[in-house]
Structure 1
Amino acid sequence: MKYFGTDGIRGVFGETLTDDLAFKVGKALGEMIENEKVIIGKDTRVSGDSLEAALSAGITSMGVDVLSCGILPTPAVALLTRITRSFGVVISASHNPPEYNGIKILKSGYKIPDKMEEEIEKRLEKEDFSKRYIVGRVKSFKEGKDMYIGAILEMFKDLDLTGERVSLDLANGATTVTAKDVFEFLGASVEVFNHSQDGLLINQGCGATHPKFLAEQMKNGKIGFTFDGDGDRVLAVDEERNVINGDKIIGILANGMMREGRLKNNMVVGTVMTNGGLEEYLKGKGVKLVRTKVGDKYVLEEMLRLRSNLGGERSGHIIILDRSTTGDGLITALEIMRILKNSGKALSELAKVIPDYPQITKNVKRTEKTSLESDELKKLIEKITADGYRVVVRPSGTEPVIRITVEGKNREEIEEIVEKLSRAIES
C-alpha cells in the first residue's frame, strides 16, 4: 500500500504526512461510514492539533460527527471505540521522534483490517468524494479519559498496591494523563519522570525506547515501568535496576496466567523477532510459541485465529486479549504487579529464569535501489542460518530503513555477522 504501513499512516509532519493528506483521509473515512461518530485522541506532539483539525474537517464535511478526547493513549481510544461500537482515530507516531506523526484508525476496539485500509487508499487516489448535504460537528469528549480510567480500575478492583513504591517514565507522551492517577488510586506511592506534555520532548532520550534512563534515574521505586509516546508499549525495571524487555514480560505473564488457569490453549503468539530464549522457556512449561510477522496487528490476527489470549513483541507491545483488544502498557504493568503480589517474589527472580540470547539489530538506510532479493544476499543468509544463528532481514513498516537482526550465543560473532550483512545490503 502507498500510505498505510504496519501501524497506520506514519511519516515526518509536513513532508510525507501533511494536513492535506489528513483532510483527505478524513473525507475518505467519513464517506465510508453512516450514522456513526468518530472518536479522536492524540499524543502530545506539536503537530497533533493541526492534523486533528484537518482530519476533523474532512470527517465532518461528510456529515459525520467527531468526538474529540484531547491527549489520550492509543489503548484508551481503542477501549472507548469498543464501548461505543464506533470508529476511532489516534494521531500518534508511537515510539518515533517528535518530528514524526501518524494516523491510526480503529473500529470497535480493533485496528481496521488491510481491506479497509486499501479501500481508503482507493478513495484517496481518485479524490472524487461524494457530496453530503449534512455537515457533522466536532464535540468535546473529555469524559473519555475518566471512562478509560474507570474501566481500568474496575478491571483491577482486587489489586491493592498500598505500600508499593513504583517509578514511572511517561516519555512526555499520552500516558501523562492516565498512568500516575491509576497507580495512586490503587494505593501505590509513585515517582514520576518525563511527565511534561511538551510535544518536542516526546520519546527524547526517555520512555520505552530508552529504558536505561529509568534504570539509572529511579530512586524511590522498588519497581519501574517505562512507556512509549502513545502508551501501547511498556518495559519494566526490576529492583536491581535491570531492564526487563518485552520477551521476558511475556514469559512472566504466561507463567502467571497459566498458574491461574487463564492462559488459553497453552499458547503464546510472538513474532520473528521474539527471542529464542523465551521460546525455550515456554517449551519447558508446556507452552507453544507461534511466530508471525512483525507488527502488533499481525500478532492480534494470529491470536484471534488461534484463540490465544497472550501475545506481543520484544519492544514491550503486549496484548492480553481477555483484558484489552490492543496493546496497553498500563494494563501490562498492572498485570505484572498483580503477578508479583500473588507470587510473593521479586521481579528479578521471575525474570532471571527466562533465558535471553544475545540479539543485535541494525538499521540500514533504504533507497530506491535497495533490494533484498539478490542471490548473493540469500546465500549469505542461508550460510549464517546453517551455522546456528537466527537471522531476520526486513524492511521497516514505519521508517525508510532495512532492519537487520541476528541472534545467537556469542555477541562478538553476532556483531561481525551484522556488519557483514549490512555491507551486503548497502552494496
Structure 2
Amino acid sequence: MKFGTSGLRGLSVDLKGRASALYATAFGRYLLDSGRACSGDTILIGRDFRDSSPKIAANCADALDQLGFDVLDCGTVPTPALALYGLRRNAACLMITGSHIPADRNGIKFYRPDGEINKADEAAITAAAAELNRAGFALETRRVKPRDQSAECRALFLDRNRHVLAQYGLVGLKIGVYQHSTVARDLLVDLLIHFGADVIPFGRSETFIPVDTEAVSAETILKFQAEARRHRLDSIVSADGDGDRPLITNEIGTPLRGDLLGLIAGDFLGAKVVVTPVTSNSGIEAAGHFTVIRTRVGSPFVIAGMQEVLATGENGVAGFEANGGLLTASDFAVNGHALRALPTRDCFLPILATLSLAASRKQPLSAIAASYHLPFASADKLENFPVETSSRLMAYLRASSDNLSAFLQPIGDVGTVNDIDGLRVKLKDRRVIHFRPSGNAPEMRCYVEADTETAAIDLLHTGLDRIRWWANVN
C-alpha cells in the first residue's frame, strides 16, 4: 500500500482483505488521537463502481464501527459529492476508489471533518498502520449495516450545481455524455437536462472501464469522433471513475486539455489567485485573468498552496490540476448564489463553465480553445512500467547535466530545467518536455508543449521512445 498524489493505492486483491481494514483503523485512530473526532462521531463511506469496492467499503465500515464511529453509507457517489456532504455534516469520509487506474487496483481517499487530508496526515496514518501491523492486527469481520445516506448526499451536490448557471443556460447545445462506469454518469445527465441541453447518453457499462482524462486512449477518441458525427454534437462530456476529473471534447470529439478547462473555470469564477501544478500549460499565466502559483503534482500540494494564499488575507482563491479537477478554497458568488468552498477536485464546475462559455458565445469549442492561444500540449504514459525502473531513470537524469543532455540529444538541446516534480525541461527551441513517474501506479508519464499540434505529438512520441530505449538498455 502506498499514498500517491491523491489517496492510498494498492492491488484490489490486497485491499479486499486485511489491508483496507488496517488502514481504516489507522485513519480512525489518527482522528481520535489527534482530537479531530470523538467516539460516536459520524463517518461517511462512498465508493466507485469497481467490483472490489463494495468489499473494501464493508471492511472499512467494520473497522470503523469497532472503533466506535457511527458509519453512514453514501453509496456510489462522486468524490466531490462525498466531500461536500462531509463538510456539511462536519464528518470524516472515506472514498473507496482507484480513480482512473485499472480495475486490478483500487484505493482509499481520506477526508478529515474539515476536508482532504494533507501530506502530514498521510505520514501519520502510515505510521499508525505500521504500528498496528507490528502489533499483529487481524481483520475482524462484523458486517455492520450502515444507514443509507446516498440520496441525501446526491441531493446536496445536485442542489449545489443547479445554481451554477441560469436555469436554461445550456439551451441550444447538444451534448453527448459518455457514461461508461463513472459514478458521475447519472448526475451529469440530470444537470445538463436541467440547464436545457439536448442530452445523448452513450457507452454505459456495468463492467469497470478505467478512463484517464489526461491520456484518453486512441480507441476512446475514435468512439467520441464517431458519436460526434452521428449525432452532430456540440461536445461530449464525461469523468474518471470517481468523478473528480472532467473530460470534455470539442464538436468533432477531440478531448480538450484539462488545464484549459481549469483556466476557463478560474475565469468563470472570477478567481483572483489560482494554484496549479507545474505540469499545467505554461501559457496559463498569460491567458488567465488571475495570479498563478505553481506547485508539485497532486491535490494535497494544490490545497497547501491555496491555504498559504488564504493565510495572507487574499480571497477569490481557487486551484486546478492539469487533469482539469477544480478546487475552491474561497466562497464565490456565482449566478447570484453563494458557491461554498470545496477544496477537493471537482469535475462538474469545469464542465458547466466550459459549456456555458460555448452557449453564451455561440461558438464551437474548437474556436473557444484556439482563442486562448495556449502552446499545443500533449501527454501520455507508459503503463506497467516498473517503479524501480522509473526511479533509476530519474536518478540517472538528475545525476548530471551531461546525463540529461545525452538522454535528450536526439530531441534537442537543454535550455532550463525545473525539478519541482519530475524533470521539466525547456529546450533551447522553446519546446517543453517533462518526465514524471506516477505517484501511485507503475506508470511513467511524459508531458510536452510545442508551437504546433504536430510538433507536440512528435515530441511526445519521441520522448516516450527515449524512455523505452533507456529501460531496454539499462
- Identify the TM-score tier after normalising by the shorter chain: 0.7 to 0.9
Closer, same or farther in 2 for the Cα pair 1:422/1:311, shift >3 Å?
farther
Query: Does residue 174 in structure 1 map to residue 183 in structure 2?
Result: yes
The aligned runs of 1:305-320 (5 Å cut-off) are 305-307=308-310, 309-320=317-328
Q: TM-score, structure 2 length as denominator?
A: 0.77
Q: Paired residue for 2:347?
A: 329
CA distance in 1, matches of 2:101, 2:434: 21
Q: What's the CA shift for 1:367?
A: 4.5
Q: Which amino acid aligns with 2:444?
A: I
Aligned position for 1:241: 253
Taking a change above 3 Å as real, the CA distance of residues 248 and 30 of structure 1, as seen in their structure-2 partners, is closer
State the secondary structure of the residue aligned to 1:244: coil
Determine if contact 1:42/1:70 at 8 Å carries over to the other structure: yes
- In structure 1, the partner of 2:18 is 20
User: What is the correspondence of 1:262-411 to structure 2 with a 5 Å cutoff?
Assistant: 262-264=270-272, 267-282=273-288, 287-307=290-310, 309-321=317-329, 322=332, 323=339, 324-354=342-372, 355-363=374-382, 365-368=385-388, 370-371=391-392, 372-374=394-396, 378-381=401-404, 384-386=413-415, 387-388=427-428, 389-409=431-451, 410-411=455-456
Cα deviation, residue 220, structure 1: 4.9
**CA distance 1:338–1:48, change in 2 (3 Å):** same
- Specify which of 227, 233, 237 is matched with residue 221 of structure 1: 233
Q: 1:416 aligns with which of 440, 454, 462?
A: 462
Q: Which residue among 203, 212, 234 is the counterpart of 2:210? A: 203
Percent of aligned pairs sharing the same letter: 22
Deviations 1:15-65 (A, max 9, x none): 4x3421111122222333314211111111110111011000100011111
> Paired residue for 2:48?
43
Q: Find out whether 1:252 has 2:264 as its counterpart.
A: yes
**Alpha carbons of 1:329 and 1:42: their partners in 2 closer, same or farther (altered >3 Å)?**
same
TM-score, normalised relative to structure 1: 0.85
Where does the alignment leave 5 or more consecutive residues of structure 2 unmatched? 138-142, 311-315, 333-338, 416-426
| Counterpart contact for 1:223–1:238, Cα < 8 Å | yes
Amino acid at match of 1:399: A
CA gap of 1:239–1:204, structure 2 versus 1, over 3 A, is closer
Deviates most, 203-212 or 112-121: 203-212
- Deviation larger for 216-225 or 383-392: 383-392
Question: Structure 1: where are the runs of 5+ without partners?
Answer: 130-134
In structure 1, what residue type is equivalent to 2:441? E
CA RMSD of aligned residues (A): 2.9
Number of residue equivalences: 409
- Measure how far apart 1:158 and its partner are: 4.8
Q: Is the 8 A contact 2:80 2:243 kept in 1?
A: yes
Match of 1:62 in 2: 67
Q: Name the SS for the 1:174 alignment partner.
A: coil
The alpha carbon displacement at 1:256 in A equals 4.1
**Which amino acid in the other structure matches residue 55 of structure 2?**
S
Contact 1:408 1:414 in 2 (8 A): no
* 1:132 matched residue in structure 2: none
> Which amino acid letter does the alignment assign opposite residue 193 of structure 2?
E
Distance 2:245 2:213 in 1: 13
